[in-house]
């Protein structure tokens, strides 16, 4: 399977460490990058230049480019993650296991990290706040997910052709997962892991980011707005 890593970056602040981890732990996987700044040529196979728009628009462009160059699957990666020695290999192992059962209807298969959704986040415990850190017993299993964040996640050409990201910063992954689910695709949490700094790409103001996404969602996916926001306007 021919794969690549696709990254979109707003400021490039975290890119040097992220790209160094790709070079160290996945040197065989080409990196496609969209960023307004120059990146080290040795770390990037193809670089797309341009001012940042939204998470969704920028990732659509760079993932489209990777597929246009003949990739069978693309790993979308945030610019603020750090790979481990097994991040890519375990992610692809899990994709192959899932594909044996679901065929072409595999949506996102995404790594765990330490700043994400509760089940995806190895650092949080949604059941007992008194326990500060431990290893979840389910981290050794592949888990089905309704919605998942592609902080470091692989998607096949088939799924990408079925739906792309909306032009949003926040909720772009939620909308994309739900659109793919409507088309019959299934999403999974992999056993793979990456370190995730968290919020370095779009910022820390969750309410402002939510408010900015609401108008598009209410206009283009009102059924999701009712589900997530209770019909608030």
The CATH number of whichever domain residue 149 belongs to comes to 3.90.550.10
Predicted confidence at residue 14, as pLDDT, reads 84
> Is residue 79 within 8 Å of 16, Cβ to Cβ?
no
Predicted confidence at residue 134, as pLDDT, reads 55
pTM here is 0.89
**In order along the chain (233 residues), what is the average pLDDT of each group of 10 residues?**
92 87 95 82 79 90 95 95 96 97 96 84 62 65 94 97 94 95 97 81 68 85 84 51
List of residues 6+ apart from 31 with CB closer than 8 A: 4, 5, 6, 7, 19, 22, 43, 44, 45
- Residue 44 belongs to what domain range? 3-229
Q: How crowded is the C-beta side of 25, counted as CA atoms within 13 Å?
A: 19
Q: What is the mean pLDDT of the chain?
A: 87
Domains of the chain: total: 1
> Is residue 121 within 8 Å of 115, Cβ to Cβ?
yes
DSSP string, 124-135: --TT-TT-----
CA distances from 140 to 95, 101, 136, 143, 166 (A): 15, 19, 8, 9, 32
Summarised one tens digit per residue, pLDDT across range 73-92 is 999 999 999 999 999 999 99
Summarised one tens digit per residue, pLDDT across range 95-126 is 999 999 999 999 999 999 987 777 888 865 55
Predicted confidence at residue 22, as pLDDT, reads 96
Predicted confidence at residue 116, as pLDDT, reads 78
Predicted confidence at residue 126, as pLDDT, reads 54
């Amino acid at each position: 399977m021919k794969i690549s890593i696709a990254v979109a970056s707003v400021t490039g602040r975290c890119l040097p460490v992220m790209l160094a981890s790709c070079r160290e732990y996945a040197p065989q996987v080409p990196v496609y990058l969209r960023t307004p700044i120059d990146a080290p040529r040795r770390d990037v196979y193809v670089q797309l230049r341009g001012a940042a728009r939204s998470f969704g628009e920028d990732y659509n462009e760079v993932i489209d480019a990777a597929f246009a160059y003949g990739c069978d699957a693309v790993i979308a990666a945030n610019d603020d993650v750090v790979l481990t020695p097994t991040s890519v290999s375990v992610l692809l192992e899990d994709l192959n296991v899932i594909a044996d059962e679901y065929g072409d209807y595999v949506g996102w298969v995404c790594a765990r990290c330490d700043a994400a959704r509760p089940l995806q986040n190895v650092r949080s415990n949604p059941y007992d706040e008194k326990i500060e850190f431990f290893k979840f017993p389910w981290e050794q299993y592949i888990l089905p997910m309704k919605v998942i964040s592609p902080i470091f996640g692989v998607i096949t050409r088939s799924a990408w052709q079925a739906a792309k990201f909306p032009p949003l910063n926040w909720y772009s992954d939620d909308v994309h997962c739900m659109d793919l689910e409507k088309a019959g695709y299934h999403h999974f949490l992999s056993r793979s892991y990456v370190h995730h700094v968290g919020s370095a790409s779009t910022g820390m103001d969750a309410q402002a980011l939510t408010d900015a996404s609401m108008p598009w969602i209410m206009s283009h996916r009102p059924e999701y707005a009712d589900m997530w926001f209770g019909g608030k306007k």
